[in-house]
Amino acid sequence: MTSYRQPGVVLTDRRFTVPLDHSDPGGERLELYGREVVAAARATEELPWLVYLEGGPGFGARRFIGPQAWLGRAVRDYRVLLLDQRGTGRSTPRNRQTLAPLGTPRAQADHLAHFRADSIVRDCETIRAELTGGAPWSVLGQSFGGFCATHYLSTAPEGLREVFITGGLPSLDGHADDVYRAAYPRIQRKVEAHYTRYPQDVAQARRIAAHLADHPTTLPGGHLLTPEVFQSLGILLGGGDGSHQLHYLLEDAFIKAGDRHELSDAFQEAVRAQLSFAGHPLYALLHEAIYGQDERPTDWSAERVRAEFPQFDAATALAGDAPLLFTGETIHPWHFETDPALRPLRETAELLAARTDWAPLYDAKRLAANEVPVAAAVYHDDMYVDTAHSLTTARAIRGLRTWVTDEYEHDGVRAGGPRVLDRLISLAQGEI
Q: Where are the beta strands (DSSP E) in 87-228?
A: 137-142, 160-166, 217-218, 224-225
Residue 265 pLDDT greater than 90, yes or no:
yes
Give the pLDDT score at 307. 96
Question: Residue 369: its pLDDT value, please?
Answer: 98
In this prediction, residues 340-348 reach a mean pLDDT of 98
How far separated are the first and last CA of the chain, in Å rounded?
Answer: 39
Residues 6+ apart with CB under 8 A from 272: 219, 220, 221, 223
Using pLDDT thresholds of 50, 70 and 90, give the confidence band for residue 257: confident
According to the model, what pLDDT value does residue 147 have?
Answer: 98
**Entry field: residues in the chain:** 432
Phi, psi of 418 (to 5 degrees): -80, -10
Report the amino acid identity of residue 117. Answer: A
Mean pLDDT confidence for 239-243: 97
Report how far residue 255's alpha carbon sits from residue 265's, in angstroms, rounded to the nearest whole number.
Answer: 9
Half-sphere exposure of 72 (CA within 13 A, CB side): 15
Q: What is the mean pLDDT of the chain?
A: 97
Domain architecture of the chain: domains with CATH? 2-173+362-428 (3.40.50.1820), 176-354 (no CATH)
Quick one: average pLDDT of 347-376? 97
Q: Is the pLDDT of residue 328 over 90?
A: no
Give kind and range of the element (H or E) at residue 80. strand 79-84
- Compute the distance between CA of residue 228 and CA of residue 164 in angstroms, rounded to an integer: 36
Q: What is the pLDDT of residue 294?
A: 82
Q: Respond yes or no on whether the N-terminal peptide bond of residue 57 is cis (omega within 30° of 0).
A: yes
Distance separating alpha carbons of residues 368 and 350, to the nearest angstrom: 36
- Read off the pLDDT of residues 64-77 as tens digits, 9 standing for 90 and up: 999 999 999 999 99
Q: pLDDT by residue (tens digit) across 25-49? A: 999 999 999 999 999 999 999 999 9
The residues annotated as belonging to the active site are 143, 357, 410
* pLDDT given at position 349: 98
What pTM does this model have?
Answer: 0.97
Secondary structure class of 299 (helix, strand, coil) = coil
For residue 432, give the amino acid letter: I
In angstroms, the CA 308 to CA 243 distance is: 26
Determine the pLDDT at residue 258: 87
Q: 148-151 long-range contacts, Cβ below 8 Å, gap at least 24?
A: 148/53, 148/85, 148/117, 148/120, 148/121, 148/124, 149/53, 150/361, 150/362, 150/367, 150/393, 150/397, 151/117, 151/118, 151/120, 151/121, 151/361, 151/362
- In this prediction, residues 367-371 reach a mean pLDDT of 98
